[in-house]
Amino acid sequence: MLSYRHAFHAGNHADVLKHLVTIQLLRYLGQKDTSYMVIDTHAGAGVYALDGGYASKNAEYETGISRLWDRKDLPPAVAEYVDVVRQLNPDGKLRYYPGSPYCADAVMREQDRLRLFELHPSDGKILTDNFRRLEAERERGSGRGKRVMITLGDGFLGLKALLPPPSRRGLVLIDPPYEVKEDYRHVKNTIEDALTRFSTGTYAVWYPLLNRMESRQMPDKLKRMKANGWLNVTLTVRTPSPDGFGLHSSGMFVINPPWTLEPMLKELMPYLVKTLGTDSGAGFTLESGQTKAVDTGTRRV
C-alpha cells in the first residue's frame, strides 16, 4: 500500500523519540575514525514543511518538537537533537522538520555513507530533489556527492545487497508505516536475514504501540533474535482514547546497542515524559537484554 505519507506526522512525539535515539547511535559510531554506513529502509521525503501542506492539517508537531523548541532546560542529548532541527530553521522560527535521512546526514562525517530507500513514488522524488539541492549547496568540489545514494524501491528487499558494509560498521534504521500487518512480519524476517549477513551491525526499529496483536507482540519477537544484546524504549504521551484512534505511544527497539545508550535514556526519558506528556497516562519504559529489568516513569499531572 502506498497511501501513507509521513508528512502528516512530521515532528510529533514519535519522531522526537526516533530521531533523538538515531542521532545518539550515530554519535557513538562516529567516535572511531573508521567510516560507517547508515541504511534507511523507509526514508520518506527527507524534510517536511510544518506551516503548510500535510503537516499543517493535524499539526502533530505540536505534540513533539514544538514543545521543545523554546525551552532553555534541555538535557544535552535532547539539545543536540533540537540543534539538528535548528539547522533547517536558521531564522529561529520552526517551519521545517528533518526526517531520518536529514538527521543522519547532519551528524555523519565526510567518510561515512548514507543509503536511502523509499518506495512511495511522490516521496521518493521529493527525497531525491531535496538531497540534490543539499549536495549542490555544500559540495563545492569536495566530492561529497557520492556519500548519499537514493534508491526508489523496497528497502526490505534492497537491504540484502548492502550487507555487510565495506567497513563492517553501520546502522540500519527500519521504520515502515505499519499500515498493513505484513509490515510487522517483514521487519522480523528482514532483521533475521540481516543478522546472518552483518551480525555486529546496529539495528534500530521504530514501531507504534497500538491496540493490535502484531504491535504488542513485535518487541518480544525481536528480543529473541540472535544478537549481542538489545534495548527497548517506549514513550507514552497520554492515556489512550476510548475509540483507540490516535498515536499515544511508540517505541525504539535497538539490536546491538552501544553501552552508552541505556544510561543516557535513563536520564532523559523522565524529562521527555514531563515535557511531552499531556495527562497522568504519560510515561516510559526502558529495558535491555542484559538486565531484563524494566524502568518505568509516569508524569503526574
- How many whole angstroms separate alpha carbon 118 and alpha carbon 293? 36
Paired strand residues for 208: 250
* 288 assigned to a ligand binding site: no
Burial of 298 (0-12, 13-18, 19+ CB in 10 A): middle
CATH number listed for the domain at residues 12-137+145-289: 3.40.50.150
> Where are any strands of DSSP class E within the chain?
37-40, 47-49, 96-98, 113-117, 148-151, 170-174, 202-208, 230-236, 249-255, 283-288, 294-298
Task: Report the alpha-carbon angle 13-273-100, nearest 5.
Answer: 30
State residue 59's pLDDT score.
79
Q: Rounded to 5 degrees, what are φ and ψ at 110? A: -55, -40
- Domain extent listing, the chain: 12-137+145-289
Task: Report the alpha-carbon angle 81-83-87, nearest 5.
Answer: 120
Question: What amino acid occupies position 44?
Answer: G
* 246 assigned to a ligand binding site: no
* 3 state SS for 149-206: EEECCCHHHHHHHHCCCCCCCEEEEECCCCCCCHHHHHHHHHHHHHHHHCCCCEEEEE
Question: What amino acid occupies position 79?
Answer: A
State residue 53's pLDDT score.
61
The number of angstroms, rounded, from the C-alpha of 129 to the middle of its chain's C-alpha atoms is 21
- For each successive 10 residues of the chain (301 residues), what is the average pLDDT? 61 96 98 97 92 67 95 97 96 95 95 95 90 71 66 96 97 93 95 96 95 89 93 95 81 97 97 96 92 43 34
User: Is the model's pTM score more than 0.85?
Assistant: yes
* 40 assigned to a ligand binding site: no
Helix (H, G, I), strand (E, B) or coil at 2: coil
| Catalytic residue ranges | 175
Cα separations in angstroms, 198 against 53, 76, 141, 160, 183: 39, 31, 33, 10, 21
The number of angstroms, rounded, from the C-alpha of 262 to the middle of its chain's C-alpha atoms is 16
Cα separations in angstroms, 287 against 94, 218, 276: 33, 15, 21
Cell of 13: 512525539
Nearest to 289 by CA among 235, 236, 253: 253
State residue 133's pLDDT score.
81
* 142 assigned to a ligand binding site: no
- How many whole angstroms separate alpha carbon 134 and alpha carbon 121? 20
* 220 assigned to a ligand binding site: no
Question: What amino acid occupies position 206?
Answer: W
